[in-house]
Amino acid sequence: MLRDMLSFWIIGTASLCVGLLLNQFRDKPLSLVYQTKVERLQLAVTKIGTIQAARQIPEALPVSLSLDEFRSFAEQKRGLVLDARPELFHRLGHVPGAISLPREAFESGYAKLKAQLESDRSQPLVVYCSGISCEDSIMVQQALVKLGYTHVSIFRGGWDEWTDAGLPVEKAP
């Protein structure tokens, strides 16, 4: 019995060591400490670029558009509409013309849109997510402000309010 327990302990310890070692050689190693979604987004923002020290995140809620204002913005293409929901939801349906910039994959999403976004940091941007209780749009808005974008608003009603109003939707090919 003692011999079996010792064998089990040796195999378990060796497996743990090999797993930890292999994790370090991954392109994106798994974190050994839990990070909240806010911390993960902050890390992505830090990796993307230098946070401007003079720029502060507004303490109050960000500029928020009503459904009518958002609809007008999207239809008239007065700037970029950014979908902060996960990529899968964006592919299943999104506001016409919206570009996917998911909060959960902000770093890779930003890299795909880098040229389009960085061409003019003062261009108007509106971010939306699932609905009024979804905080991803606020988090993406704050990340963009930290990266130096000056005109970033959110549509708090999000996808839920858009579809409840029976407005047109677009699906990814």
**Domain locations in the chain?**
1-33, 37-164
Could you tell me the fold of the domain covering 37-164?
Answer: Oxidized Rhodanese; domain 1 (3.40.250)
pLDDT confidence bin for 53, thresholds 50/70/90: very low
Contacts of 59 (CB under 8 A, 6+ apart): none
pLDDT confidence bin for 42, thresholds 50/70/90: confident
Which of 34-43, 54-63, 89-98 is most confident?
Answer: 89-98
Distance CA 170, CA 173 (A): 9
> Stretch 145-162: mean pLDDT, rounded?
94
> Stretch 25-44: mean pLDDT, rounded?
82
Residue 9 parent element (H or E): helix 2-24
C-beta neighbour count of 148 within 10 angstroms: 14
Name the more confident of 54 and 132. 132
Distance CA 44, CA 51 (A): 11
- Angle of the 37-48 helix axis to the 106-118 helix axis, nearest 10: 40
Model confidence, pTM: 0.75
pLDDT confidence bin for 31, thresholds 50/70/90: confident
The DSSP output letter for 94 is B
Distance CA 162, CA 77 (A): 16
pLDDT beyond 90 at 72: yes
Sign of the CA dihedral with 49 first, then 51, 57, and 63 last: negative
Predicted pLDDT at 2: 84
The DSSP output letter for 170 is B
